Amino acid sequence: MKKILVTGGLGYIGSHTVVELQNEGFEVVIIDNLSNTTIEVLDRITSITGIKPEFEQIDLKNKKDVQQFFKNYSIDGVIHFAASKAVGESVEEPLMYYENNIATLTYLLQEMNANNVRNFIFSSSCTVYGQADKLPITEDAPTKPAESPYGATKKMGEIIIEDTSKVTGLRAIALRYFNPIGAHKSAKIGELPIGVPQNLIPYVVQTAAGIRECLSVFGDDYNTPDGTAIRDYIHVVDLAKAHIAALNRLLENKNKANCEFFNIGTGKGSSVLEVVNAFEKATGKNVNYKIVDRRAGDITAAYANTSLANKELGWKAELDLEEALRSSWKWQESL
């Protein structure tokens, strides 16, 4: 049985990926510092799969703890989710973001190298493309200057990993996620709401639940059919499965370069108003909304060309927007 380290494995995407790894017969050890989740998620994963993953409460900023971890465990591959992810917060606290997302990445890669752990999957983001010149976006689209320190950490992370893979024997895959949404069908794990949601779907769901009064739609003067901005919303369970496909590619030596990049999206763009309508249709719930000014830093449209992931990873998104929105609602109700 292959043993996989999942950093940030109690977070939103991490917990869904742990479930899929266990479903596929991998042994999982989780590192999480619980900064943006709770220990209860460990029990919830266990109740879904029937297997309790090993867990170490470690903050990757503590280099000594990372060193000790690799002495204690024999690891076949690492899926690295642990990072801070709030765009606005990153503008206020850039150094925190560079320490949390970049310093920790270097420690992890150093210890992997010191212990001959070679297989690495990185959580990257479509944010590296900025507003792409061509849609749908292919992996060879040029990256653009980051709009925020958060975005910069994803771009720098890719560079750090690619440079390392040229000299250490590291084999890496960076998955560039589009917009992850939804929750596990059991409604036992999902995105934990902390404070006022910054992302669209949590805000929609909380508005439908009466926790928020009204959704602000940020701008209806974009150059899109209905004037609202377009994104590629991907079900978190599909996204989790992309990690298994990427991991298997490395474990089976099918990778074609030491560092590879794949878009992980559905290939379909949806506008903010289309999302609101799809949510109402999927759940029968009403969402109050008003149009307000654009949000600083937002782009007009981003959606993925997923041909490379289809062909090379043998992976394709299977769940559609309405199904994802229904699962988000079910998760909200369970809360």
Stretch that binds ligand UFG, among 55-63, 132-140, 185-193, 215-223 (CB under 6 A): 215-223
The single residue among 26, 107, 203, 303 that binds ligand UFG, judged by CB under 6 A, is: 203
150 counts as catalytic: yes
Stretch that binds ligand UFG, among 32-40, 121-129, 240-248, 317-325 (CB under 6 A): 121-129
**Does residue 182 interact with ligand UFG by CB under 6 A?**
no
Distance of CA 246 to the CA centre of its chain: 14
Binding pattern for the stretch 23-62 against ligand UFG, x by CB under 6 A and - elsewhere: ----------------------------------------
Stretch that binds ligand UFG, among 37-45, 50-58, 104-112, 194-202 (CB under 6 A): 194-202
**Does residue 200 interact with ligand UFG by CB under 6 A?**
yes
**Residue written as token pair 């990257």:** 124
User: Which among 150, 203, 222, 303 is annotated as catalytic?
Assistant: 150
Stretch that binds ligand UFG, among 94-102, 155-163, 199-207, 252-260 (CB under 6 A): 199-207
The residues in 287-306 that bind ligand UFG, with binding defined as CB under 6 A, are: 295, 298
**Does residue 218 interact with ligand UFG by CB under 6 A?**
yes
Q: Which of 172, 188, 194, 181 is nearest to 240 (CA)?
A: 181
Q: Which of 117, 77, 103, 112 is nearest to 156 (CA)?
A: 103
The single residue among 87, 234, 309, 324 that binds ligand UFG, judged by CB under 6 A, is: 87
**Does residue 234 interact with ligand UFG by CB under 6 A?**
no
Closer residue to ligand UFG, CB minimum distance, 55 or 218: 218
Closer residue to ligand UFG, CB minimum distance, 49 or 143: 143
The residues in 305-334 that bind ligand UFG, with binding defined as CB under 6 A, are: none
Closer residue to ligand UFG, CB minimum distance, 173 or 229: 229
Binding pattern for the stretch 256-275 against ligand UFG, x by CB under 6 A and - elsewhere: ----------------x---
d(CA 294, CA 285): 26
Stretch that binds ligand UFG, among 24-32, 38-46, 212-220, 258-266 (CB under 6 A): 212-220
> Site for ligand UFG (CB under 6 A): how many residues?
21
**Does residue 126 interact with ligand UFG by CB under 6 A?**
yes
**Does residue 143 interact with ligand UFG by CB under 6 A?**
no
The residues near 245 (Cβ < 8 Å, ≥ 6 apart) are: 309, 313, 314, 315
Smallest separation (angstroms) from ligand UFG to the CB of 205: 11
**Does residue 229 interact with ligand UFG by CB under 6 A?**
yes
**Does residue 217 interact with ligand UFG by CB under 6 A?**
yes
d(CA 78, CA 173): 11
Neighbours of 62 (CB within 10 A): 14
**Does residue 179 interact with ligand UFG by CB under 6 A?**
yes
Q: Per residue, what are the HEC states of 158-202?
A: HHHHHHHHHHCCCEEEEEEECEEECCCCCCCCCCCCCCCCCCHHH
Peptide bond into 53 cis (omega under 30): no
Chain residues that interact with ligand UFG, rule: CB under 6 A: 85, 87, 125-127, 150-151, 179, 198-200, 203, 215-218, 229, 231, 272, 295, 298
Active site residues: 150
